[in-house]
A and B are shown apart, each in its own frame.
Chain A
Amino acid sequence: MKHLVDIESLSDAEIQEILELAGTVRRGGAARARGPVATLFYEPSTRTEMSFLRACQIVGAEVLRLAPETSSATKGEGPVETVKTLFSIGARTVVIRTSEPLLPRRLTTIGPSIVNAGDGAHAHPTQALADAATLMDAIGADLSGLTVVMAGDHLHSRVSRSSATLLARLGCRVVLVGPPSLNPPELARALGAQTAASLDEALDAADVVMALRIQRERQGAGLVPDAAEYRRVWGVTEERFRAHPHLLLMHPGPANLGVEVDSTVVDDERSLIRRQVAMGPYIRASVLTIVGRGQDA
């Protein structure tokens, strides 16, 4: 495996390899990246970029950090040219975050390993892998039969696509709920997930609820109700969380507290949110190591 562009491109064996090596790294085992890693984040990101930078430290990779806002991208240079330049400079892996769906796949023919750190609404595979690893850490390696409810804006969410796809492949029953305009049934079908009419109906059978970030700008487009209405219908509120005493909470972050999730439940002992963040560098260290091995193939 030389690239990681989306979950669909991974074989079952590759998924297991990534998860197992992440566990090894987390227990202090050695993992080494093959060469310099460049990060190319066309969209602002705190946790994903920091998580990759920490991963580079773990695997001993030198980092070339390109900030597009101070680079030739401002002069109109396209990402293909930029990645060619990074490869010529010596980068052997390029970690890319972009608003353009499918751009990482387009870059895989250039030379360096491409690791997708989020491409538009398409995919965020390392987040999905970190989520799966977090769940396995919390409840055990076998996720089959687990019911995971994902609540929010699926239409614009790369996290929803990648996590739903991966969890469904690992045997979970994945249920997507959210405002109808943001949760088309065709999307759930495409991801191997189900839909439910309401969050309350879905939570009755749920083991885990993953709240998704609702983007405020969608309200202006008339796609979602106002924040109070959203919280009442689709939010993981304190009342809902208490009413389901065995329910675990996840959120890919950053959260709108008091909208899709109440601040009082984020730090509850049944919340896995901090553990998701903590798992990120180990998963990404594992991915950087494995794509480095793939460079010889």
Chain B
Amino acid sequence: MSEEILLRGARVFDPGQELDEVADVLVADGIIRRVGGSIAADGAIVIDLKGAHLFPGFVDMHVHLRQPGQDAKETLATALGAARGGGFTAIGAMANTKPPIDSAAAARAIEEAAAGLSPIRVHQFGSVTLGLQGEALAPFEAYAGAGILAVSDDGAPVAHAGVMARALAHARAAGLLVIEHAEDPELAGDGVASLSESALRLGLPTQDPLSEAVMVARDVLLAGRSGARIHIAHASTADTCDVVAFGKARGVAVSAEVTPHHLLLTDAAIDRGTNAKMNPPLRSEADRRAMVAALEAGLVDAVATDHAPHTADEKDSGWLAAPFGVSGLETAFSVLYTDLVRPGDLSLGRLVTALSSAPAAILGIERRSVAPGMAANLTAVDLAAAWTVDVRALATKGRNTPFAGRQVAGRVVGIMAGGKWVAA
């Protein structure tokens, strides 16, 4: 398939090369061949992108596909549709499914099923512990042999320090990234919201916000000793940023991601209902500001959605019973662009890096760069296009988004992945 595709007239914006200019991009066999002022079509399929921005391809390293076992929440097809709508060229899938993904065969089965549906690359992660039970380690060498990139018990922390110490040592040997849902179980308790005036006023059981940084401190120290790569999922507090900074200053191979909702919403939003119930919970305004500053500074490396679809019935079952989590794939770029980049709180360059080259580097997948010779993973967005988040129009089954009804700017036009152009 020596198919040539010419992406014409977009404003190519690649912060990794400090590139920001209108140019044509010629792709053949999934590889970027030329980036230049005016490239002749010469038989190539032409995609007109005038007026749009063309970014390095977005990567969401934190998605709950709900497969296998939870078709009512999401299917591979609906999740991949949502990823396409959000401009993602690759996604990392967590292992807390039913049953959990704790074997190389189970992980490969998801990746192969996804490959049959979409050119968007699904990287299925394996669990850290068998059955997500927090005790016996899953087969890390078999994971690595099957091309699995990372392990995580996300949804829950690896609660026991000894188990985590062993997991990091094995992950280092197998070359796997460990992604930690950092939450001290005792400090978090049965809390459904972060300790705050608004949660206490409503009588909700609360989590001590230090439950996150306490666990990050443990993991950073353990990872530093073993030399393993550790990635902090959904970092949400200023204290966590401080601990990550400590780890990086020590030379620990620690990275961190932050979600759109922790960058944009605070505990004040919990009054709106269970679509503001997620774990980690929404934090204080001071924490939110700290996360934005840490993302801008590069201390927090990546933006990831923690896309966690649930059914409406599940989310309508009350504050105590409703499951944690919000859908995020289709709204991530637009809400962040609208509420952080446009007002000047976050640079477009940092947002694009955190959505593309940074998570790609953490996972060790194809580099995200709009340059000749690079794999053509690209995301086109019309920054001027306004749209309204209508949950009925989303591709995901999960209508549980706190951004429902929001007027936003920045509409994904399409993606280039796996050698194919896919309109959003």
Report A's interface with B, CB cutoff 8 A: 8, 78, 80, 100-103, 106, 119-123, 155, 158, 161, 184, 186-187, 189-191
Contact B204 A101, beta carbon cutoff 8 Å: yes
A194–B27 CA distance with the chains assembled, in angstroms: 66
Q: Contact check: which of A106, A119, A161 meets B201 at CB < 8 Å?
A: A161
Contact A190 B197, beta carbon cutoff 8 Å: yes
Interface size grouping (class) on chain B: 10 to 19
Given A100-B320, A101-B319, A102-B318: A158 and B203 interface contact (C-beta under 8 Å): yes
List the B side residues contacting A78 at CB < 8 Å: 317
List the A side residues contacting B318 at CB < 8 Å: 100, 102-103, 106
Q: Name 18 extra pairs, CB < 8 A, besides A101-B203, A102-B204, A186-B197.
A: A8-B201, A80-B316, A101-B204, A101-B319, A102-B202, A102-B203, A106-B318, A120-B320, A121-B204, A121-B205, A122-B202, A161-B203, A186-B195, A187-B201, A189-B197, A190-B200, A190-B201, A191-B201
List the B side residues contacting A155 at CB < 8 Å: 200
Chain B residues 146 to 163 lying within 8 A of chain A, measured CB to CB, are none
A103–B274 CA distance with the chains assembled, in angstroms: 12
Chain B residues 200 to 236 lying within 8 A of chain A, measured CB to CB, are 200-205
Q: Does B198 contact A (CB under 8 A)?
A: yes
List the A side residues contacting B196 at CB < 8 Å: 186
A121–B321 CA distance with the chains assembled, in angstroms: 15
A155–B202 CA distance with the chains assembled, in angstroms: 11
Report B's interface with A, CB cutoff 8 A: 195-198, 200-205, 316-321
> Which residue of the partner chain B has the closest CB to A122?
B203
List the B side residues contacting A119 at CB < 8 Å: 203
A261–B404 CA distance with the chains assembled, in angstroms: 50
List the A side residues contacting B197 at CB < 8 Å: 186-187, 189-190
Shortest beta-carbon contacts, A-B, top 9? A122-B203, A121-B203, A190-B197, A190-B201, A187-B200, A101-B203, A186-B197, A100-B318, A120-B203
List the B side residues contacting A191 at CB < 8 Å: 201
Q: How far is the CB of A219 from chain B (nearest CB, A)?
A: 17
Given A184-B195, A186-B195: A101 and B320 interface contact (C-beta under 8 Å): yes
A184–B318 CA distance with the chains assembled, in angstroms: 24
List the B side residues contacting A106 at CB < 8 Å: 316, 318
List the A side residues contacting B203 at CB < 8 Å: 101-102, 119-123, 158, 161
**A78, A184, A187 interface centre (most CB from chain B within 10 Å):** A187
A78–B314 CA distance with the chains assembled, in angstroms: 12
Q: How far is the CB of B317 from chain A (nearest CB, A)?
A: 7
> Which residue of the partner chain A has the closest CB to B318?
A100
> Which residue of the partner chain A has the closest CB to B320?
A100
Q: How far is the CB of B312 from chain A (nearest CB, A)?
A: 12
A78–B205 CA distance with the chains assembled, in angstroms: 21
A172–B321 CA distance with the chains assembled, in angstroms: 36
**B201, B205, B317, B319 interface centre (most CB from chain A within 10 Å):** B201
Q: How far is the CB of B337 from chain A (nearest CB, A)?
A: 33
List the B side residues contacting A8 at CB < 8 Å: 201
Contact A100 B319, beta carbon cutoff 8 Å: yes
**A102, A121, A123 interface centre (most CB from chain B within 10 Å):** A102
A122–B203 CA distance with the chains assembled, in angstroms: 4
Q: How far is the CB of A185 from chain B (nearest CB, A)?
A: 10
Q: How far is the CB of A290 from chain B (nearest CB, A)?
A: 24
A123–B196 CA distance with the chains assembled, in angstroms: 17
